[in-house]
C-alpha cells in the first residue's frame, strides 16, 4: 500500500516580524494560537495549521533546502502516518528528501523542495519531547 501524499495539513510562513504577524492573523481571522515559542506562533484555520516562523529561524527548520538563500517565504507540510515509509516512496520516485528528524513539538519530519525551490515537508505525529 502506498503512503498518501495528498493531505495538505500545515503551511509555514517565514515572517520578518513575528509579533506583528501573529497579531495580524489572530486579530484579522480570529485564529486560535495552538503552539508558540521564541521563534514561532502556530494558528489554527479549520483543518490547516498556519505556522508563523521568524525568518531568522528558517535554516533550523528547513534542513538541506535553500529557503533563506532563494527567498522562499513559505513551507508546505503534508501529514502522513509514517514519515519513513513516505520518504522511501518519494526516494523511489527520484525525489531527494532529507533524513527524518523528531521535532520537540510532536512531529517527525523530512524536508524536500519542488523544482522552483519551494520548501515542503512530510510529517507524522509522535509524542512531543518533554
CATH number at residue 37: 3.10.180.10
**Domain-located, residue 2:** no
pLDDT at 70: 54
Could you give the angle at the alpha carbon of 90 between the alpha carbons of 48 and 100, nearest 5°? Answer: 70
Q: Which residue has the cell 509555514?
A: 12
Please check whether residue 60 lies inside any domain of the structure: yes
Give the per-residue pLDDT at 127: 84
- Residue 130: inside a domain: no
Question: What does the pLDDT read at residue 71?
Answer: 60
- The verdict on residue 27 lying in a domain is yes
In a domain, 104, yes or no: yes
Is 52 a member of any domain?
Answer: yes
User: What pLDDT sits at residue 103?
Assistant: 92
Instruction: Tell me the C-alpha to C-alpha distance, in Å, between residue 115 and each of 37, 80, 82.
Output: 31, 22, 24
| Any domain includes 1 | no
At 63 the pLDDT is 63
Quick check: pTM over 0.75?
no
- The tally of domains found in the chain comes to 1
What's residue 32's pLDDT?
95
pLDDT for residue 100: 97
Asked, for residue 3, whether it belongs to a domain, the answer is no
Q: Along the 130 residues of the chain, how does pLDDT read in single tens digits?
A: 567 888 889 998 888 899 999 998 998 888 999 999 999 999 998 899 999 998 888 777 766 555 545 566 788 888 899 999 999 999 998 889 999 999 988 999 999 888 777 788 999 999 876 6
Domain span at 115: 8-125
Amino acid at each position: 500500500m502506498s503512503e498518501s501524499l495528498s493531505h495538505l495539513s500545515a503551511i509555514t510562513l517565514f515572517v520578518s516580524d513575528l509579533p506583528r504577524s501573529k497579531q495580524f492573523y489572530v486579530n484579522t481571522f480570529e485564529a486560535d494560537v495552538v503552539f508558540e515559542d521564541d521563534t514561532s506562533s502556530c494558528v489554527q484555520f479549520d483543518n490547516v495549521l498556519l505556522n508563523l516562523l521568524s525568518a531568522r529561524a528558517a535554516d533550523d527548520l528547513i534542513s538541506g533546502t535553500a529557503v533563506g538563500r532563494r527567498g522562499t517565504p513559505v513551507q508546505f507540510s503534508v501529514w502522513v502516518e509514517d514519515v519513513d515509509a513516505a520518504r522511501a516512496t518519494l526516494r523511489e520516485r527520484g525525489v531527494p528528501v532529507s533524513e527524518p528528524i523528531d521535532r520537540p513539538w510532536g512531529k517527525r519530519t523530512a524536508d524536500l523542495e519542488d523544482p522552483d525551490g519551494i520548501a515542503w515537508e512530510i510529517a507524522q505525529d509522535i509524542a512531543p519531547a518533554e
